[in-house]
Amino acid sequence: MDRRTFIGTVGAGIAATIAGCTDAGSGGDGDGGGDGGDGQTGTDATGTTTGTERTETPTDPTETTGSGETTDADGTTDDTSTESTPDTTAESPGTGTDEGTGTASGSLAVVDTSFEVTSSECGGGVSEATVSVDSDTVSIDGTIGGRNGCDTARIAGTTVESGTLTVSVERYTPESEDPTACVDCLTDIEYTSSVTIEGTPDTVVVNHGDEQVAKTSA
């Protein structure tokens, strides 16, 4: 082989080698472009695109309103509230008998009263009474003690309750009397009283102030 032939062969080999390097560099740039993406997608050696999908959790499409109603995603409203049942229980009116402290109860009633002091003199301050019932009249004869010569007596009131007639007698000093001129002694004030009634009482009670002095069954 002569010198010219050898040089030509060597030059052709070098040119082929340079061309191969240039192609290899171009392929590297393509791979680098794929690697330089956003990390979500890429192309493998076979040309298939790969990547990672994001999964989002869906929110509950049901909306609850303040009134206890819920609204679905399709606009349908469901009423989940519980209605309260009004109390329809009526209060029963009270029952019973009002016996109170009046002058009438049932078939028994006080029609009229009379009272008279028959005697008042110094004594031991006796307090007593006797009762008799005759048809529509209750008669009382009694003695109530006085604190001094100015005291006298009167009916304080009558009450009818549960078939019982109560007659209250009290001692008192008339406003016309001068306390400084009263005889200083205990007195026995004798009286007589009658009570006209409608009906017949089961029991008659006589009180002198707060003290019960007689109780008689009719």
User: What is the span of the domain harbouring residue 126?
Assistant: 104-217
Identify whether 124 is part of a domain. yes
| Backbone dihedral angles phi then psi of residue 196, each to the nearest 5 degrees | -90, 130
Give pLDDT tens digits along the chain (218 positions): 454 555 455 455 555 545 554 454 444 444 444 444 444 444 444 444 444 455 455 555 455 554 455 555 555 555 555 454 555 444 433 333 333 334 555 689 999 999 999 999 999 999 999 999 998 999 999 999 999 999 999 999 999 999 999 999 999 999 988 878 899 999 999 999 999 999 999 999 999 999 999 999 87
CA-closest candidate to residue 143, choices 132, 159, 130, 158: 130
Please give the tally of structural domains in the chain: 1
C-alpha distances (whole Å) from 215 to each of 60, 106, 141, 193 are 88, 21, 13, 15
Q: Is 183 within the bounds of a domain? A: yes
Task: Look up the pTM and report it.
Answer: 0.52
Query: Where would I find the beta strands (DSSP E) of 44-103?
Result: 49-51, 63-64, 69-71, 77-79
